[in-house]
Amino acid sequence: MIPRYSRPEMTAIWSPETKFRIWYEIEAYACDAQADLGVIPRENAEAVWRAKDVEFDVARIDEIEAVTKHDVIAFLTHLAEHIGADEARFVHQGMTSSDVLDTTLNVQLVRAADILLADMDRVLAALKKRAYEHKDTVRIGRSHGIHAEPTTMGLTFARFYAEMDRNKARLQAAREEIATGAISGAVGTFANIDPRVEEHVCKMLGLRPEPISTQVIPRDRHAMFFATLGVIASSIENIAIEIRHMQRTEVLEAEEFFSPGQKGSSAMPHKRNPVLTENLTGLARLVRMAVVPALENVALWHERDISHSSVERGIAPDTTITLDFALNRLAGVIEKLVIYPENMLRNMNKFKGLVMSQRVLLALTQAGVSREDAYRLVQRNAMKVWEQGADFKTELLADSEVTAALSPAEIEEKFDLGYHTKHVDTIFARVFGENAAH
């Protein structure tokens, strides 16, 4: 991923230096276990650890790989250059390259998941804070982009919180599922290595042994991991789209923070564009691009082919780096989002009470009017608002069929905004817990 959309901590997980360090640890821990089992001399295992402070030369490994055409062999050759060929002769004993590659990939994905979970905590904290700030800030709810009924800005933040909280649970489950390692040999039978070696290596790396592997760890685990990242990205876009719509000039109920000195357009000095949330929409697309290739990686030939490798070399760093950046950008947008309550009220009143139509409809049916007739009465007065700019309540009060069923006081009462927000506390308790801190 390009530096523009990268953060250092996540990027470091995917650096060649980090990768080779994990490769080294796998080989060293495997030698420890082999020595404990009496398979290799203890002094050879100890010799491997003499390289524990070595900064592996990426350029040198690349140079060797240019000849060997094999990345793991190139690394093992370079390791032998540091500890000596004789001391290195038991390194990688009974193992296959995928034991190193797959176990390393899963270590990296676990570490990436931990960063993403911390990112999500920041997003959740921002959403919760803004939800309580605007719990009672009334705004119009929209369906199909059209005014529906009143809701609150706090409920908008709360539903995004609930969605992200579900995503956090999904990511925790995906992290748990991907946290396996395999040191099982060429086709997963442990023919030339004791299963206890795998158990030791996995324990030292914070993984569980893969219950049954072939030459590789099953790719359904990875498919679920990347699918989860895709869902999280879609939730980011869901929030971003809402903010973008709210920032439209004719709506302007919320706006990305516009910093001093910021410019919106090279041609139009007046512009204040939702560039961050537009960017988040694009980044979400990048993350979702990984999902289908990850699903296609599940079907490999027999005990393994290499078709998955090139895909994962791209999608593993790119999706985690991109999602890390996107989550942090989203958190910043939410934390600084400018809310305009006055504009919310103005927009809600734009159609002069029209959004209270359901309350009037229900009141008429409760007063004995058939639902079909009640719908007809309400709709004919509502159409006067749409087509003539009339005031909805005034039209209802002037309609003899309506006033035959409802008194003026009863009609007036149906325009109380508080009716629509009376259960906000109940919803908040469901989302944040009965005793959730404000």
Residues marked active site are found at 144, 265
For residue 9, give the amino acid letter: E
CB 396 within 8 A of CB 381: yes
Task: Return the structure tokens found at 179.
Answer: 């946290």
CA 433 vs. chain centroid, Å, equals: 23
pLDDT at position 260: 82
How do the domains of the chain map onto residue ranges? 1-93, 97-181+212-351, 354-414
Tell the CATH superfamily of the 354-414 domain.
Fumarase/aspartase (C-terminal domain) (1.10.40.30)
Tell which CATH classification among 3.40.50.300, 1.10.510.10, 3.40.50.2300, 1.20.200.10 matches the domain 97-181+212-351.
Answer: 1.20.200.10
Banded model confidence at residue 75, pLDDT cuts 50, 70, 90: very high
Alpha-carbon distance of 61 to 38, in angstroms, equals: 31
Mean pLDDT, residues 391-397 taken together: 93
Place of tokens 């050879």: 44
CATH 3.40.50.410 is the classification of domain 1-93: no
Q: How many CB atoms lie within 10 A of CB 418?
A: 9
Report whether pLDDT(240) > 90.
yes
pLDDT for 187-233, tens place per residue?
Answer: 999 999 999 999 999 999 999 999 999 999 999 999 999 999 999 99
